[in-house]
Structure 1
Amino acid sequence: MQQRISLITLGVRDLAVSKRFYTEILGWEPVESPPEVVFFDLGGLVFSLYPHESLAADFNTTAPTDQPTYRGFTLAHNLRSEAEVNALFEHLKKHDVVILKEPEKVFWGGYSGYFTDPDGHCWEIAHNPFWTIKDDGRIEMQPPDVDE
């Protein structure tokens, strides 16, 4: 198996509400999709929204009725500066998005905060001074300094 992820799908309670959140609040552009799913082209990775019941049926289970905020993973979006992180959080607050953690300096040397989408999926918004964000948005990871 090659080291890559092709598709990330989030199970959502209300597809229309989630689509509005990602398009109107986050400003993402969906691609043409069947009406029962929403796809976003992230430049080599596809991100999709799909109703909980349909996603659960896809792998022969049932959707849980109560979704905890902590689910053991987070999605992340990296920005080029702390100022960009702060500006995005100000934008989110204007739209009454649930903020889990205000942006702050963090132990690994960066700056980050967390919010949730309408279904409680956690997003980290971060500035990592050790990574370069290319013009096309892809991350270039710089090797850590190693004292030998």
Structure 2
Amino acid sequence: MTAFAQTNPITDICFLVEDVEKASAFYVDRLGFKPRRRAPGFADFKGAGITLALWEIGHIAEHTGISGRRASPGVHKACAAIELPSPDHVDAAYAQLKKVGVIFLAEPQEYSWNARCCYFADPDDNLWELYAWSDGGPIGDIDPDE
């Protein structure tokens, strides 16, 4: 087994989007990401602990040779998660983001994996989860010492 993931933290997440301008507006205006770089078909932003990049599907396909196939609307292509300190923080974040126009799939609720969660999607249907562990913490830990 390689130790790659244990020695190289995830520093960026990149969502493939149809329209970088539309997606950028969502991430800046609704979620508060700070613009960092801009190039044709590409933008990236600073957030707490991570860089979020947006790359237009057609642009990345043209320049790298990866597939430019698009998923149907409503089909989620990725999920990014933000762990919050407590279930109350999930409720507060839900209220704050809903107030600025973020559309959630449902109100925060308790799930069987012992977490309070809520979900929303960006304009390209990339899914976001806000979650916090409920009393007793996560279940199913493989190595409880880590």
- Normalising by structure 2, we get a TM-score of 0.75
CA contact (8 A) 2:105 2:118 kept: yes
CA-CA distance at 1:55 after TM superposition: 2.4
Is 2:66 the counterpart of 1:63?
no
1:9 equivalenced with 2:14 (yes/no): yes
- What corresponds to 1:123 in structure 2? 128
Cα RMSD for the two superposed structures: 2.8
Find the aligned partners of 1:121 and 1:78 in 2 and give their Cα distance: 17
Tell whether the 8 Å contact from 2:33 to 2:47 is kept in structure 1 after alignment.
no
Q: Are the counterparts in 1 of residues 34 and 45 from structure 2 also a CA contact under 8 Å?
A: yes
Which one-letter code corresponds to 2:144 in the other structure?
A: P
Consecutive unaligned residues of structure 2, counting only runs of 5 or more, are none
> Which residue pairs with 1:144 in the alignment?
144
Number of equivalent positions: 135
Q: Report the Cα offset of residue 44 of structure 1.
A: 6.0
Unaligned residue ranges in structure 1 (runs of 5+)? 132-140
Query: CA 1:38–1:112 in structure 2 vs 1: closer, same or farther (change >3 Å)?
Result: same
Counterparts of 1:106 and 1:38 in 2: how far apart (Å)? 34
Decide whether aligned partners of structure 1 residues 75 and 86 sit closer, same or farther in structure 2, where only a CA change above 3 A counts: same
Say which is worse superposed, 96-105 or 121-130, in terms of deviation: 96-105
Asked if the contact 1:21–1:117 (Cα under 8 Å) also holds between the matched residues in 2, the reply is: yes
The 5 A counterparts of 1:1-148 are 2-3=4-5, 4-42=9-47, 45-57=50-62, 58-64=64-70, 66-71=72-77, 73-129=78-134, 130=137, 144=144
Letter matched to residue 16 of structure 2: G
- When residues 92 and 44 of structure 1 are mapped into structure 2, their CA distance, relative to the original with a 3 A threshold, is closer
Deviation at 1:46, TM superposition (A): 2.9
Distance 1:123 1:65, change over 3 A: closer
- Residue 41 of structure 1, CA deviation: 3.4
- Which amino acid counterpart does residue 126 of structure 2 have in structure 1? H
Q: Deviations over 1:24-77 (max 9, x none)?
A: 110111213334311123466432001121123323322316244333x41101
SS, match of residue 38 in structure 2: coil
Amino acid across the alignment from 1:74: C
**TM-score, length-scaled by structure 1:** 0.74
